[in-house]
Structure 1
Amino acid sequence: MSLGGATHGKHETVYDWAAALLAIVLTGIHLYLGFTADEPRFLVVGGLFAVGVLFFFTGYWRTVVYLVAAVYVATLGVLWFLSGMEYRGVGLLTGAISIAFIILVVYLFVRESSAG
């Protein structure tokens, strides 16, 4: 299976798979919170992550979407912080995963932008 992006099936690396895995983990965390805490907003956030992961594996993926993903995740972190840091333990874990995800997708953006 080839991954989406500017390199479509030519240069998949561990970084491509790691980005997808981190996005799946973020999906799971948000869906878990949505169902266990009865918080519909987390279901929406998790659903958007799931759509992003599915989109990543299509031929429609474009390099710029890496930046959209980074901004999306960073915005979620800022909103969590400004809203009083609900679910602090899970939020800190999610924050650590999110930072790794942001670094990774920015790297992938730079790599694929310079490759094309």
Structure 2
Amino acid sequence: MSDSNREDQRLGASQTIIHWVTLAVVLLFALLHVYRGLRAGSIIGDTSIQNFGIVLAALGGIALYFTSYWRPILYLAGALFVGTLTVFWSLRAPVTVSLEASRLILGATLVLLFTYLFYRDDLYKPDHADSVSDQNKGR
């Protein structure tokens, strides 16, 4: 039995430690944007609406994650969404404030975690493992 299967059995059928770490980083990302939205001054301002939109997208992603439908697509969409935001933020202004730096670090971390989970999920699917073993038997 592989280490990945042992880890899956120990922590539940579909959640591993890396999944929980990713969920925690997504929550930190959402909380950071709640803070930024509240700190913007007015709840109706453009900056506040953008930040709360990011929070809603993060919480919606977490809700979709627990349905277990389309997880690889969710990982890919999350990586593209956060990656695009991170690139725009990094190009917009120099990073001097610790809040902005933490947003960029969290964004880059999420892109790496989502990308890892996307490839890991594809590699450890039962269908993929069966097709690989069938290919090896034909040799």
- Give the Cα–Cα distance (whole angstroms) in 2 for the partners of residues 54 and 85 of structure 1: 34
Judged with a 3 Å threshold, the aligned counterparts in structure 2 of structure 1 residues 19 and 73 are, in CA distance, closer, same or farther, namely same
Q: How does 1:1-116 map to 2 (within 5 A)?
A: 9-37=12-40, 38=42, 39-84=48-93, 88-116=97-125
- 1:92 deviates by 0.7
- 1:99 deviates by 1.5
Runs of 4 or more consecutive aligned structure 1 residues displaced over 6 Å after TM superposition: none
Q: TM-score with structure 1 length normalisation?
A: 0.82
- Give the Cα–Cα distance (whole angstroms) in 2 for the partners of residues 87 and 61 of structure 1: 38
Structure 2 gap ranges (5+): 1-11, 43-47, 126-139
Q: Matched residue of 2:81: which SS? A: helix
Identity of aligned residues (%): 25
- Give the Cα–Cα distance (whole angstroms) in 1 for the partners of residues 87 and 108 of structure 2: 12
- Give the Cα–Cα distance (whole angstroms) in 2 for the partners of residues 61 and 16 of structure 1: 15
Aligned length: 108
What root-mean-square deviation, in Å, do the aligned CA atoms of Structure 1 and Structure 2 show? 1.9
Of structures 1 and 2, the larger Rg is shown by 2
**RCO comparison, higher one (Cα < 8 Å, 6+):** 1
Q: TM-score with structure 2 length normalisation?
A: 0.69
